[in-house]
């Protein structure tokens, strides 16, 4: 994906840091720019070789949040011209049934990306199911081979996991210098924290990971020029954790009780936004920061897969 900054973007430096000049990194706007770019590229592909990228999504069970995510992914596919294929299976489906659908999609030339919505029901072996997705269509980037390649210097990954890829894309589009900078990733999940740390390392940052067993997390985090937090703890990162001028990418989306809100709750990040704004040079809001980027990167990976499979430049 192109790295050109939007007109509203500017080079972010530590010197900018003050409450008045904190830059809000607008994930919604960047995601829209990316969707527009993808839409144009899909039109070019369709006109040139008659191919439309296809994304298959498998949903098992009746979890409301998962159903919402799948619905949003389907809607996003429609906006850019990707054909979506959807399979919704009941909670009590067998692992074999899920594997059969994956096998069929692996063999289907109309499908260029396969996504299994997580979490899966407890009676299923998540690892076994994710490993069944053929690596050329693993647009979620969770296959061990993809993560392994990400960890190795000089190796090209087939796909980068969508949320960490979205975090780095935001840094690129806002011209945040990564090379030689100190970066701290808070959280070490397979889905966000670990691949985010690997991506930052690929960009020549000096990377530390803070996790639940880390001693003095505040002290370590305060050394960072760039913070990516993906820990799922509301407002855990306070202003005192942040070095003046740091850039913050907040992946957390945490509901907290709020009697003034019609829903009875509001969404906050892992970083205390009000405090961070007084210290950081730039920060992603929650919602409207990393969230929209995750789906944009899924669409980007699906297009990339179709181009690769059909050798379309």
Report, as residue numbers or ranges, the catalytic residues.
73, 117, 140
3-state secondary structure of 36: helix
- Neighbour tally for 47: CB within 10 Å: 8
| Angstrom distance (rounded) from CA 190 to CA 157 | 16
Burial 139-162 (b: 16+ CB within 10 A, else e): bbbbbeebbebbeeeeeebbbbbb
What are the backbone dihedrals phi and psi of residue 152, each rounded to the nearest 5 degrees, phi first? -100, 130
> Which of these, 160, 191, 166, 165, lies nearest to 284 by C-alpha position?
166
In whole angstroms, what is the distance from residue 223 CA to residue 180 CA? 13
| CB neighbour burial string for 260-277, b if at least 16 within 10 angstroms, e if fewer | eeeeeeebbbbbbbebbb
Cα distances from 286 to residues 27, 72, 166, in angstroms, run 10, 18, 14
Angle between helices 193-202 and 162-173 (to 10 degrees): 40
CA within 13 Å, CB half, 60: 23
Chain centre to alpha carbon of residue 146: 15
Helices 193-202, 144-151: inter-axial angle, 10-degree rounding: 40
């Amino acid at each position: 994906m192109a790295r050109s900054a939007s007109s509203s973007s500017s080079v972010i430096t530590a010197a900018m840091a003050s409450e008045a000049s904190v830059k809000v990194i607008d994930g919604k706007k960047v995601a829209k720019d990316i969707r527009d770019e993808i839409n144009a590229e899909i039109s070019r592909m369709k006109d040139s070789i008659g191919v439309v990228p296809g994304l298959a999504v498998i949903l098992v069970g009746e979890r409301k949040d998962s159903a919402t995510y799948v619905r949003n992914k389907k809607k996003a596919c429609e906006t850019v011209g990707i054909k979506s294929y959807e399979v919704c299976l009941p909670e009590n489906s067998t692992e074999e049934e899920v594997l059969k659908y994956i096998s069929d999609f692996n063999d289907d030339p109309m499908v260029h990306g396969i996504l299994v919505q997580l979490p899966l029901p407890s009676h299923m072996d998540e690892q076994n199911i994710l490993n069944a997705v053929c690596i050329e269509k693993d647009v979620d980037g969770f296959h061990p081979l993809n993560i392994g390649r990400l960890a190795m210097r000089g190796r090209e990954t087939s796909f980068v996991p969508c949320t960490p890829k979205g975090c780095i894309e935001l840094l690129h589009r806002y011209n945040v210098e990564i090379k030689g900078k100190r970066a701290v990733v808070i959280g070490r999940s397979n889905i966000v924290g670990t691949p985010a740390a690997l991506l930052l390392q690929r960009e020549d940052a000096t990377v530390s990971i803070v996790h639940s067993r880390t001693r003095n997390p505040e002290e370590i985090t305060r050394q960072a020029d760039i913070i990516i937090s993906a820990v799922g703890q509301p407002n855990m990162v306070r202003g005192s954790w942040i070095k003046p001028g740091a850039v913050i990418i907040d992946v957390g989306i945490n509901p907290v009780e709020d009697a003034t809100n019609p829903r009875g709750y509001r969404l906050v990040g892992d970083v205390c936004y009000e405090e961070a704004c007084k210290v950081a040079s730039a920060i992603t809001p929650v919602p409207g920061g990393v969230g929209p980027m995750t789906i944009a990167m899924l669409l980007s990976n699906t297009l990339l897969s179709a181009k690769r499979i059909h050798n379309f430049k």
